[in-house]
Amino acid sequence: MTVLDSLFPTPVTQTVRHLALGFFDGLHLGHRRVILGGETPHAPDHTAVLTFRDHPLSVLHPEKHPALITGLPHKLRILGRWQIAAVVALPFDTTRARQEPSDFLRELAETFPSLHTVSVGPNWRFGKNRSGDVTMLGGWCQERNVRLDNPAPVLFAGERISSSRLRASITAGQLGDSAEMLGRPYTLYGTVGTGAGRGESLGFATANLHTEDECFPPDGVYAGHAQLADGKNFSAAINLGAQPTFHAKKRQIEAHLIGFKGNLVGQEMDLSFEKFLRPVLKFESPDALAEQIKKDISACIQTTEL
């Protein structure tokens, strides 16, 4: 997958036939429909996604900036798995915010000269003061004999799937509903960093995940899976939160990969949250915590091997 950070013609963009436009936070089933198509799917090897590196609200209204379900590395990870040919991840700054819609469309025409289809979600807007809309885009497409794909919303439980609805579901700990809207388990993605080594001292080494994702379920211990960069999967007991037994207040994302031996520091990892096991608790001693971790691992094995 080719990743670009500006709009200009390249050998890849000049062969793109389908272009999907949007921020696509979460890459849920509604986004999947826009990007990959419906009953007649778009060919992913001729598909490009145009998005922004940062949420526009981070510039326009920082106080309203939502917690990102998928930071840019995670978004690229998923689009790569969808075998998308190219992603243009534009920086969003004040210059881009002030751009007239017609100037933005002119950039699209120059960058993607071979378009057959442009696809956007139902409420898509663009340009200065959000003055560009689907009607304007439709006129631009008609002038170029390009089909506009503006699909109806994808529904879950009778209501439209949206990033804000998905975000609310995740933060409420509704993992089943979140997975239904995503079409996959709720997952964090990032790089394994170094930790304090407390898990290893207790006999249960953990991988500390550093991520640009910002939207989390409630703190607690979860059963899930870890997928490594080489594609191998391991059942995982995940601790999201602080470590009150050790008087550590910083929220961390730690996972004990059941059956794994080795050093993961510096490696990329996907961590899926599949079942809440218990809240984060303060134990009387490290030994008492170690006994509880044994129970957590047992519960995790039973859950993830069902």
Helix axis angle, 134-143 relative to 101-111, nearest 10°? 40
- Mean pLDDT of the chain, nearest integer: 91
Q: Which of 225, 234, 205 minimizes the C-alpha distance to 293?
A: 205
Q: What is the pLDDT of residues 70-96, one digit of tens each?
A: 999 999 999 999 999 999 999 988 899
Residue in 102, 85, 94, 105 with CA at minimum distance from that of residue 44: 85
For residue 306, pLDDT over 50 is answered with no
Longest Cα–Cα distance in the chain:
71
Nearest to 85 by CA among 190, 5, 11: 11
Predicted confidence at residue 56, as pLDDT, reads 83
Average pLDDT (168-177) is 98
Evaluate if residue 99 carries a pLDDT over 70.
yes
Query: Which one is predicted more confidently, 305 or 15?
Result: 15
Predicted local confidence at residue 201, as pLDDT: 54
How far is Cα of residue 297 from the mean position of the Cα atoms in its chain?
Answer: 27
- Distance, in Å, from the CA atom of 50 to the CA atom of 67, rounded to the nearest integer, reads 20
- In tens, the pLDDT along 140-151 reads 999 999 999 999
Residue 303 has pLDDT above 90, yes or no: no
The pLDDT of residue 280 is above 60: yes
pLDDT of residue 83: 96
Q: With beta carbons less than 8 A apart as the criterion, state whether 236 and 271 touch.
A: yes
- In 3D space, the residue among 215, 207, 219 whose CA is nearest the CA of residue 269 turns out to be 207
pLDDT at 248: 60
The CA R_g of the chain, rounded to the nearest whole Å, is: 22
Q: In angstroms, rounded to a whole number, what is the distance separating the alpha carbons of residues 104 and 151?
A: 22
**pLDDT class for 200, splitting at 50, 70, 90?**
low
Q: What is the pLDDT of residue 62?
A: 82
Q: What's residue 60's pLDDT?
A: 79
Q: Are 250 and 244 in contact (CB under 8 A)?
A: no
- Cβ neighbours for 304, distance < 8 A, ≥ 6 positions apart: 223, 224, 225, 235, 236, 274
The answer to whether 261 and 158 are in contact (CB under 8 A) is no
Q: Give me the mean pLDDT over the 196-214 stretch.
A: 78
Ordered alpha helix ranges (H), the chain: 29-36, 57-60, 72-81, 94-97, 101-111, 134-143, 163-171, 175-182, 198-201, 286-304
> What is the pLDDT at residue 195?
67
Q: Please report the pLDDT score of residue 21 as a whole number.
A: 97
Nearest to 34 by CA among 79, 69, 96: 79
Alpha carbon distances (Å) from 114 to 19, 95, 107, 122, 188: 10, 27, 13, 24, 35
Residue 171 has pLDDT above 50, yes or no: yes
pLDDT at 243 over 80: no
Is residue 164 within 8 A of residue 178, CB to CB? The reply is no
Percent of the chain surpassing pLDDT 70 = 94
